[in-house]
């Protein structure tokens, strides 16, 4: 998977999360979890784009670390939505799987970049 494909994939992830958050209950539980999920999910793509523009390998690795942190945080919020029964598991599990896949891809990319 090249950088253009990953940029597209991370943007699509953010867009899908935006739709999911729109379906969350607008109450004292749904609103803050939705806000946190939107922040972390949109940060994945934004920071990946920044990593691709990095001026050095060290900057690239540093930005990828942020991407990994934000993707993993997105997993956490998605898990809370499922386990807290805020939405049916069937509506959330594909996004949770995507967040886990993005996390794994970025971890592998960071390992590769550190070795080079």
**1 or 39, which is more confident:** 39
User: Is 90 exceeded by the pLDDT of residue 116?
Assistant: no
User: Is 90 exceeded by the pLDDT of residue 1?
Assistant: no
Q: Minimal CA–CA distance to 98: which of 41, 24, 27, 22?
A: 41
75-113 pLDDT, tens digit each: 999 999 999 999 999 999 999 999 999 999 999 999 999
Residue-level length of the chain: 116
61-84 pLDDT, tens digit each: 999 999 999 999 999 999 999 999
Can you give the pLDDT at residue 96? 98
Q: DSSP assignment of 30-66, as one string? A: HHHHHHHHHHHHHHHHHHHHHHHT-SSHHHHHHHHHH
Across the chain, what does the average pLDDT equal? 97
CATH of domain 3-115: 1.20.1440.60
């Amino acid at each position: 998977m090249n950088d253009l494909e990953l940029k597209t994939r991370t943007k699509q992830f953010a867009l899908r999360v935006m739709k999911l958050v729109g379906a969350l209950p607008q109450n004292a539980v749904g609103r803050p979890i939705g806000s946190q999920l939107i922040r972390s999910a949109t940060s994945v793509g934004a920071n990946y784009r920044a990593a691709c523009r990095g001026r050095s390998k060290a900057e690239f690795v540093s930005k990828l670390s942020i991407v990994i942190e934000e993707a993993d945080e997105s997993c956490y919020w998605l898990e809370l939505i499922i386990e807290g029964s805020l939405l049916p598991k069937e509506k959330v599990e594909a996004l949770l799987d995507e967040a886990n896949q993005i996390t794994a891809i970025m971890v592998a990319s960071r390992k590769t970049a550190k070795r080079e």
